Structure 1
Amino acid sequence: MADHAHAELHSEQGALRHEHSGRSIDPVIKVTDLAWLEFEKPDLARAEAFATDFGFQVASRDADTLRLRGTFAGPPCLVIRRGPMSRFVGPSFFAAERGDLTRLASATGAAVRRLDRDEPGEVVALRDPSGFAVRVVHGVPELPALPEQRPLTLNTGATARRRNEPQRPPREPSRVQRLGHVVLETTVFRRALDWYLDTLGMITSDFLFLPGHRDRGPTMAFLRCDRGGVPADHHTVAMHLGPSVQYVHSAYQVTDLDAIAAGGEYLEERGYHRTWGIGRHIQGSQLFDYWHDPDRLMVEHFADGDLFDSSVEPGWAPMSASGLAQWGPPVTKEFLGTQPSPKLLREVFHALRDDNELDPGRLLGLMKAMNS
């Protein structure tokens, strides 16, 4: 890369000898995409109010379950069930064909079950090494597409596509198109990474490692679905080593930068809290804007992300706070989850006592990386 502020923050160079290849030689199946994410929340009315302000459409609602969708055709991309506390339950993925469910069930000792008594669709329910509930589904009914937020016609340099027509994007929610990815923190990073590669056939787009500790392996991975020659999102699941097992954020695609910005103004006017943004990431390249919902769970609007087919090998780069964005405001401690608190101290104390992959050396490396 050229000599500038982001030098060495991303490298297309693959693994060195004896490093992780970023993919499984013989995975059980290859999932094709995220289907939906499942959460529990005690107040479904409050969850619905934020969701519609954020840009989701309500697909269905009853006393105990809220299903939210984007404008693209497909099933609801968020399922929120009534529960005693606000928490992330786990992700569901699409299987390419019904036989994948049979193969997965046989390899894991699970069973293929009906997804719902009243609707078609089948599921294999699993647990990943971190303890998240992971489901793989097939035969799920699709909802038809909804009207889109029209992308603005842009004049760029000497190319004038818009003439005698002023730009007046409305102040309205950023209309969510689809679910993009989920990011997770885990104390058993290497075990979780290998499980997603070996069991679900995902492949790595980028690895991050602690500066000065590359010999100990990566501490963050951005995983995409392996669709062969058909491009997939740069990451569908991202995970990193940390002192707790927890949901970090989930991301939802919108039309373009204007949709992100105007939708952000709409959220701000309604009193919601921006966590970090607007900017453009390095790994994945997407435009981003992060918000907290009323229960302090983080969600992201994104647009213009990278799409890779299976020919792209993993990049390797050092982990750092400054390496999270090409441009944008400085990353916040709130986004990084590094604000000192009794909860964080308890998590660090228990993580260092428990049998996992976090030790004092790695903890110190993580702290340095998140302040660099």
Structure 2
Amino acid sequence: MAPEVIAEMTTKMETTFGNASAVNYYGRQARFVLDTSRHLIAQSINAQNDNEIVFTSGGTESDNTAIIQTALARKSEGRHIITSVVEHEAVLKPMAYLEEIGFEVTYLPVDENGLISITDLKKALRPDTILVSIMMGNNEVGARMPIHEIGQVVAASNAWFHTDCVQTYGLLEIDVQADKIDLLSTSAHKLNGPKFMGFLYRRDGLNFKPLLKGGDQELKWRAGTENIPAIAGFAKAVELANQNKAKHRQDYLAFKQQFIDELTALGIEFEVNGKHNEDELPHVLSIWFKGCPADVLLTNLDLAGVSAAAGSACTAGSLEPSHVLTAMYGKDSPRVSQSLRFSFGITNTKDEISQTVAALAKIIGRLKRK
């Protein structure tokens, strides 16, 4: 977490301990923090009003709520849903659940850049399509979906448009009005805020029942006493991100280019997975190290003090191959088992990039000699 976020949360834990639903002095204190945080976050995505923001425990809850509750609320209008094959598990597993209870899900393929085709989307849309869920940016390879075009296409149909923005919120500009987004999921920890905190944007007029049953907190959209210190920390993280978006994008793109240039200079055999340009997410870099098993590279990098992943950090403990790389290149491609994912954050430095590349060069040199 950013030091400013930690300071904000610490202060709120010490001074703002009331229940935001209470009408006493301490409750009003908490309500003020809740309302001001909600307002700041609503403005950050150009929401029409503050009440379209529902605080949740993070991206997974937001995705589950948007997908499952939309399906259940609209099942009389249709039972067809569209998503992509490269979504996060927090989207794919709710989709699998809906299939088990009688919904039909179309999984759009992607090209070698990790992008869906707008033509495929148009062909997949049907009168009984009630929801389209496509991520804004991919967490494994950094592919940036054509969200604006997708939004325009879906808006002309009967479906609602949901996008998982966990990887992009706080780094890219997001405008739910311009992009015709109906539902949007985020997680605070991706922009140096607290873990287990996020929000769901729900456009006014979209009616479905809450996922969690209980009290009337969060405007009756999400039961459970609000975590005021975490919400305040999230708002502080958003405030900092708003001030530094352009600089962070510039820094991360420079890290990416430095990484690639230094690998090239050392004669390491590699290819970037997906595109490598300014249209893609600046902070995610997926690389195929030809002939080098990803698990061996990861173990040796860890011993050298470098943290990386072979796919999503959420499934890195699994021996299953990356579903994203499999979708992009096929299950028999060596890229699936020989690729690493590097990601950059606000504390990284140019020296750390050089140290990482130097460590890779030593490890790969040993592997090649064997």
Scaled by the length of structure 2, what TM-score is found?
0.28
TM-score, with length taken from structure 1: 0.28
Structure richer in helix, relative to its length: 2
More strand by share: 1
